[in-house]
Each structure stands twice: as structure tokens, then as C-alpha cells.
């Protein structure tokens, strides 16, 4: 019985540390975050944090991989499915990303900032390059428009999905959106993005 209780306590403490680390890293970024900040946010002492995660780098790596997986792992089954037509892929991509980013609006900025500083982390750990190069999505884009580099369409797709969440503070400050109607706009965008991409694919 005692062993079971200890195990549950360990898992609970580790998750508490990771939850605090997500919050601190998202707010401050890797460079400005201290293990002491994370320990305080988790309500534990620094020695206990170091027992579970021996360094800030190790803790950040684990959190970062979770966040990158969350941001890019959502689309992997969609872009790799050869049986899914291109139009259906676009619809599913828009829906999956808008849903995920609506629940995690700070995620894109955090991941992009840290990946800009540590591009090798992204390249070596997630193997996104091979995931995209071998995807049925790229093959379908090439078949649809052999005269245009598929990267052009991928940049448009990513921009249409990610930009509103990255630019939300600016959009709020300019009065173009409000906290109240942002969610409604994103629901509309989920339906509009596939239509916009289809129109772009037809542009000569």
C-alpha cells in the first residue's frame, strides 16, 4: 500500500512541476526562466524540483517536445493520409488547427519563438522535414498545380491558420476584434480557410 501511495505522490509532484514549468516558460521564454521560478510556481522547494528534473534544460526539453508535438502532431495523420482527397484535407486541417489553437492561443508564439532560437531541436527531434516531404498533401498539391512550388501553398495555409492567434494582441489593440467576438471569428474562419485555399489553387 505504501509503495502505491508513494508512486501516486511522485506522479502528482512531477505533473505539478511540469504544469508550473509550462506556465513559466510560456510567460518568460527559456532564457528568462529560472528553476527557482518554476519551483515557486509549483509550490515546492528547489531541491525537490532538481530531484525530478536535474536541470532547466532537461525540463524545458520535455515541455518543448510536448508543445511542438501538440502544435504539429495534430496535422500528421491528416497530411499523411493518401486516401483523403485534397479538399477534405484542407477542411480537416483548418478544423483541427482552429480547435487546437482556440484552446491554446499562446502556443504558436511560444513554439515559434523557441524554435527560432533552437532550430536543431525542431529538426532533429520531430523529423518534421521528412514528415512533410513524404506526405500525400505535398503530392496532391504538386498534382493540382505542377507549375507552383508546394511551399507557396503551405505558407499560405499556415499563415491563414496561425496568424490570427499570433497577431491577436495587435488586433485587439487596433479594435479590429474583441475578446468577445474572437471565438466567433475563428469559427467562421474554420469554414472560410478551405474555400480561400481552393480559390488560391485556381489562381494562375
Q: Are residues 87 and 45 in the same domain?
A: no
Whether the CB-CB separation of 70 and 104 falls below 8 Å is answered with yes
Domain membership flag for residue 59: no
User: 36: domain range?
Assistant: 2-54
Domain membership flag for residue 60: no
Residue 2: pLDDT over 50: no
Instruction: From residue 78, give the alpha-carbon distance in Å to each of 4, 11, 42, 55, 192.
Output: 40, 33, 36, 36, 18
The per-residue pLDDT for range 80-130, each reduced to its tens digit, is: 899 999 999 999 999 988 988 888 787 777 777 777 777 776 666 656 666
Q: Are residues 71 and 37 in the same domain?
A: no
Output the domain CATH number for residue 45.
Answer: 1.10.10.60
Whether the CB-CB separation of 115 and 121 falls below 8 Å is answered with yes
- For the chain, the domain total comes to 2
The per-residue pLDDT for range 8-41, each reduced to its tens digit, is: 445 588 889 998 998 898 788 778 889 999 999 9
The model's pTM? 0.70
Residue 52: pLDDT over 50: yes
Output the domain CATH number for residue 88.
Answer: 1.10.357
Residue 72: pLDDT over 80: no
Amino acid at each position: 500500500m505504501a509503495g502505491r501511495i508513494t508512486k501516486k505522490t511522485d506522479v502528482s509532484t512531477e505533473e505539478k512541476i511540469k504544469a508550473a514549468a509550462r506556465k513559466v516558460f510560456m510567460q518568460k521564454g527559456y532564457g528568462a526562466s529560472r528553476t527557482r521560478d518554476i519551483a515557486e510556481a509549483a509550490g515546492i522547494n528547489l531541491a525537490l524540483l532538481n530531484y525530478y528534473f536535474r536541470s532547466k534544460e532537461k525540463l524545458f526539453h520535455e515541455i518543448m517536445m510536448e508543445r511542438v508535438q501538440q502544435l504539429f502532431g495534430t496535422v500528421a495523420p491528416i497530411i499523411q493520409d493518401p486516401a483523403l482527397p485534397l479538399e477534405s484535407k484542407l477542411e480537416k486541417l483548418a478544423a483541427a488547427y482552429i480547435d487546437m489553437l482556440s484552446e491554446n492561443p499562446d502556443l504558436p508564439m511560444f513554439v515559434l519563438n523557441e524554435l527560432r532560437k533552437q532550430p536543431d531541436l525542431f529538426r532533429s527531434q520531430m523529423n518534421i522535414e521528412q514528415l512533410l516531404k513524404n506526405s500525400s498533401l505535398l503530392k496532391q498539391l504538386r498534382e493540382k498545380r505542377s507549375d507552383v512550388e508546394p511551399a507557396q501553398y503551405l505558407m499560405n495555409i499556415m499563415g491563414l491558420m496561425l496568424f490570427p492567434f499570433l497577431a491577436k494582441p495587435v488586433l485587439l489593440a487596433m479594435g479590429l476584434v474583441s475578446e468577445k467576438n474572437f471565438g466567433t471569428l475563428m469559427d467562421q474562419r474554420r469554414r472560410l480557410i478551405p474555400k480561400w485555399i481552393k480559390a488560391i489553387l485556381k489562381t494562375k
